[in-house]
Amino acid sequence: MRGLRARHDIDGARHDARRFGGIGAASTTAVAGLVAVGVFVVGCSTGGTGSRDEGAASRPDQTSPTAAVPSAPASSTAHFKKVDAARLIKSDPKVSDQVKADLKPCVKNIYPVDTSYGNLTGGPAPDVIVNVMTCGDAVGIGTYVYREEGGEYRNVFATEDAAVYATIDRGDLVVTKQVYAKGDPVAYPSGEDVITYRWSGSKFTQHDWVHNDYSKAVGDGGIDSPSTAAPSEN
């Protein structure tokens, strides 16, 4: 089970010539007649101004103007560089000791972190979102946003809740938190809260909030499905 992403897979599953005929003998005769008329018209147009009265023809050396290419924003891939997300979290004083203790490699030196890069704060470099998860079922335990300032990354947003995950949507920070009722399996919560934040000068402010309730009558999330302990709210 993959927690939030498994739920989205189920939810997504719910919502989701001409031929030409041949030219017959009659058509061939008609075409020949048109050709003859065309020859006659051309012969008549050789005198006087002829077709020149209709306006000057376009010159073959004329070319259409080249469309302007918009300049890239400040936070573009030209300034893109990856960060060591696990190291960033462990060295951040704003991250709780509990999250730091839970952040351990799942396989060898691979940590359970998802990292996203994008323009959230309008800074000179892409901002970084780090989602910290559990190894077993990929349930989020904390999400953080870092803004580059003077060559260093500063924590400008943090939330440490059970089953939380953040993404970037057209310049907005979108935080999704799964809502569990008593007895809900980890992969099948009862609903979710989706909160949209926007950067306002020096901090993020809430812009929108949506709550979704999930049906228990579809997929493997039915009432009779085996119950796996939901993540703790602590």
Determine the Cα–Cα distance for residues 164 and 134; give it in Å rounded to an integer. Answer: 11
Which percentage of the chain shows pLDDT scores above 70? 59
Measured CA distances, 43 to 40, 54, 220, 224 (Å): 5, 17, 81, 89
Nearest of 117, 115, 141 to residue 127 by alpha carbon: 117
pLDDT recorded at residue 186? 82
pTM of the predicted model as reported, rounded to 2 decimal places: 0.62
Is pLDDT larger for residue 117 or for residue 72?
117
Average pLDDT over the chain reads 74
**Beta strands 127-133; 191-200: pairing state:** unpaired
Q: Cα-Cα-Cα-Cα dihedral of 220, 226, 229, 231, to 10°?
A: 0
Is the confidence at residue 111, as pLDDT, over 60? yes
Q: Which residue type occupies 145?
A: V
How far from the centroid of its chain's Cα atoms is residue 160's Cα? 23
pLDDT of residue 80: 72
What are 135-184's pLDDT values in tens digits?
Answer: 988 999 999 999 999 889 999 999 999 899 999 999 999 999 999 999 88
Tens-digit pLDDT profile for residues 84-97: 999 999 999 999 99
Q: Is residue 45 over pLDDT 60?
A: no
DSSP symbols for 32-89 = HHHHHHHHHHHHHTTSSSGGGGG-PPPPTT--PPPPPPPPPPSSSGGG-----HHHHH
Q: Residue 125 has what DSSP assignment?
A: S
Section 110-132 average pLDDT:
96
The residues facing 132 across adjacent strands are 113, 142
